[in-house]
Amino acid sequence: MKLAIGSDHAGFELKNTLTQYLESRLIPYEDFGTFTTDSCDYPRIAEKVCKAVLSGQFDRGILICGTGIGMSISANKFAGIRAAACSEPYSAILARRHNNANVLCLGARVVASGLATLIAEGWLNASYEGERHQRRLDMITRIEQRNAIPPYVPSSDAGITPAAEPQAQNPAPGTNDVGPEKGTQPL
């Protein structure tokens, strides 16, 4: 199993704790940042890790922010990502067994590093049980498909004029789609 891991500034120290744990267990991983405690925007990191998982180069991802909530909201915007924010091991284990969660989100301001490691360990060791749960995951996939936003097609290609500011809502693939970098900002 190969893991993609990332955090914002609030999760930076816990990410270091977890990467040490992964190394101790010889679990391969790639760190997608952030690499300092300078304030940064969690959706950027969530996007990198989720794209890495969806690319098939990584089996699962771990995302850490202050609460785990911003990361999980961001990650669950990606079709095919099932992100679970967990504060104790039981939910993390069931997130694998029942929900086949391919991303674990942790809140570094919610759980201490020892508990976070137990949560990650439970999630890493548990396996998806399939059967009745697959029917429900298939329903989630159909919800994703029914509500998918079609990719933006530039008007020159489509032969039509987009209604209003389509880039703001639905940018062309490959563009920086989480918006401009902010300057100094509160944590």
Active site residue ranges: 65, 98
- The radius of gyration of the chain from alpha carbons, rounded to an integer in Å, stands at 18
Distances (CA, A) of 56 to 49, 108, 165: 11, 27, 33
Neighbouring CB atoms inside 10 A of 114's CB total 9
Using the rule CB under 6 A, which residue among 19, 67, 76, 117 binds ligand RB5? 67
58 makes contact with ligand RB5 (CB under 6 A): no
Asked if the peptide bond before residue 34 counts as cis, ω within 30 degrees of 0, the response is yes
Using the rule CB under 6 A, which residue among 65, 84, 103, 106 binds ligand RB5? 65
Length of the chain: 187
70 makes contact with ligand RB5 (CB under 6 A): yes
32 makes contact with ligand RB5 (CB under 6 A): no
The span from the CA of 170 to the CA of 150, in Å, is 8
Using the rule CB under 6 A, which residue among 42, 58, 78, 152 binds ligand RB5? 42
Q: Which residue is nearest to ligand RB5 (CB)?
A: 70
Question: Is residue 185 within 8 Å of residue 40, measured between CB atoms?
Answer: no
10/22 with CB nearer ligand RB5? 10
Q: Is 96 left (phi over 0), alpha (psi -120 to 50) or beta?
A: alpha
String of contacts with ligand RB5 for each residue 102-141, x by CB under 6 A = ----------------------------------------
84/93 with CB nearer ligand RB5? 84
Binding site for ligand RB5 (CB under 6 A): 8, 10, 42, 65-67, 69-70, 187
